[in-house]
Amino acid sequence: MTQSSLRSATAARPGARDVKKVPFVELYDGRLQGVVSSGSDIQRVYVSFFEAGTRDFSCSTNNNRPCGGLGGSYPCNHLRELLDEAIEQYGIARVAAFLGMPGDLGQYQQLHDILRALGTSTRADSGTIFSRFLGDLALLELPADSAPLHTAAWF
């Protein structure tokens, strides 16, 4: 499976985690992206991503303000949390392959191995990622029903 053949990847263990209690993470459209809690302010979340291929990264608040902990060539704690959650949900081999990590993918055994081979900080609009997160939350609020979801009617 390559990133060009798959715009959105499903989790390795679907249903194993509650989206409301952990970060929202997805492998989508050439990015490992998601939303994580600020850790200190319940009203604030951080929208973060890693670009596949370049492995450049970005982190900003839900109001599109840059993360204060982000700088240069090392990711902030929100990005580390996003990457850690992606490894938990999808497995390190799948994350490393999706991001296009250099060399033998077998050399990536833990979070630190991926962190050493990242790109640099970049700025990008986070609205699309945040919108996808809100869409996922809206689906979680729907009552249990056997009817097809309007967003998945084409399946």
pTM of the model: 0.74
**pLDDT per position in the chain (155 positions), as tens?**
444 434 455 555 544 444 455 588 999 999 999 999 887 777 788 999 999 999 999 999 888 888 988 877 889 999 999 999 999 999 999 999 999 999 888 888 988 889 888 888 888 777 788 777 777 766 666 677 777 666 655 55
**121-138 burial: b if 16+ Cβ within 10 Å, else e:** beebebeebbebbeebee
Query: Under a CB-based contact definition with an 8 Å cutoff, are residues 35 and 23 in contact?
Result: yes
H/E element, 47: strand 45-51
Query: Under a CB-based contact definition with an 8 Å cutoff, are residues 90 and 27 in contact?
Result: yes
Per-residue pLDDT, 19: 43
DSSP 5: T
Calculate the alpha carbon distances from 2 to 13, 44, 79 in Å: 19, 34, 23
Strand partners, 106: none
Task: Give the whole-angstrom CA distance, residue 9 versus residue 47.
Answer: 19
